[in-house]
Structure 1
């Protein structure tokens, strides 16, 4: 038995970007590049690591005492990097219209993704602040302690800005879709997509929402319970994952499946 200490989870943010459609809410998802280190080839929500610069930006915002401030800024940044949608307002508090959003994307997104420009520089150049108030905390997942690469991930819901176009970045993500949560689950069950366990669980929690407003209201009213899955063996010898019942995913035990979390 190894005496090695568990890897320290890296802080990360993930965004469940929603829009209303005739058949119900749709969520924006991207297909991860197969050559990248984490979740290669999987259908995922946009997101990534919290960077030190995110905390610096959060410290300068109204409500800077928010313990999730850096996570919220990272969520806004990652949404722009991976989707091209900038959840931001002018210094006067006005949301970006579609033309403004497209112009900011054309001017800054490529440089930001290439590491040639920081997010703070983008905001300063355009006179913008992250619209952190658009994000509603939805879930909190921590990678199991026995895995070598671990993340401490905050999931946020956010309504997609009306009229703004979303598109994958072509770097970490090679494809993107707007899809009803129930359809994403059904297509994964049919072998058309690979879903990580947290992605599957969070899609299932959204699948019954009547519209975006209902999904946001439900999330705002539900306490966020931290989930760190543990693997067990049930009475029939099958590997299962245990998560807290209080987290609101419909049960404490689920088939282990792929342990890529």
Structure 2
């Protein structure tokens, strides 16, 4: 497990928590998707001020794994759940649920659907009224993600996801997540839109500009953008991804990291 030093203010909260004998809550499994497009830009949403976690912070679309992400199996294309399990060092059912959550959450929070009728095709524009009704039903848990894809004759395109990193929320936070970060190129013909009730703003921005301090964001978002900026462009990012270990959890700490994060 790698360690990342928290910014001073957050480190102070972490030290107080430890000094008072705080007991950390168990982190919830989650998935996050960094949408990228040419010219080299990443998609960000600003979480609403009313949110219990990361309120008013800029982040990537994502959220917790839902029990139905594991219980129901959508049609599947791309690397098998077994291959994802090996890459993420997870049991196969858990790896399947993490990948399903990534595709489901990015659709719920940005209106982008990483699915298609077969392994070589991606669905086009999904901004119409019928799609919007389906998206809202998905958020309300009136419709399962596997059911949504089945009704439309679609399969989940797991090959459109590129595993990137894994971050665990600091122990002092009352809500904690064990989050797998994925990258995805914006499918041709699809346009993200500000659709989520959890967000009040969305934007595209070059990673280097997004990471220069103009936007409030938590360390995982900021460091991800910095890593993307170092790659120089989408080709560089895709070339760097296979050498990364997306299963090696990065744990923010109040103290000097024991070893640097690569």
Task: Report the TM-score when normalising by structure 2.
Answer: 0.80
Distance 2:233 2:97 in 1: 28
Q: Does 1:168 align with 2:191?
A: no
- Computed over aligned residues only, the root mean square deviation of the Cα atoms, in angstroms, reads 2.1
Q: Does 1:34 align with 2:49?
A: yes
How far apart are 1:199 and its partner, in Å?
0.8
Query: Residues 79-94 of structure 1: matches in 2 within 5 Å?
Result: 79-90=106-117, 92-94=118-120
Q: Does 1:95 align with 2:117?
A: no
Distance 2:196 2:108 in 1: 10
Q: 1:41 to 1:175 in 2, by over 3 A?
A: same
Q: Does 1:7 align with 2:25?
A: yes
8 Å contact from structure 2 (residues 73, 146) kept in 1: no
Task: Report the TM-score when normalising by structure 1.
Answer: 0.80
- Return the structure number with greater relative CO, CA threshold 8 A, min gap 6: 2
8 Å contact from structure 1 (residues 143, 150) kept in 2: yes
Q: 1:131 to 1:143 in 2, by over 3 A?
A: same
Q: Secondary structure at the match of 1:108?
A: helix
Q: Does 1:141 align with 2:171?
A: no
Unaligned runs of 5+ in 1: 233-240, 249-261
> Where does residue 216 of structure 1 map in the other structure?
238
Q: Does 1:155 align with 2:181?
A: yes
Q: Secondary structure at the match of 1:149?
A: coil
Unaligned runs of 5+ in 2: 1-18
Distance 2:62 2:45 in 1: 10
Mean CA deviation greater in 53-62 or 41-50? 53-62
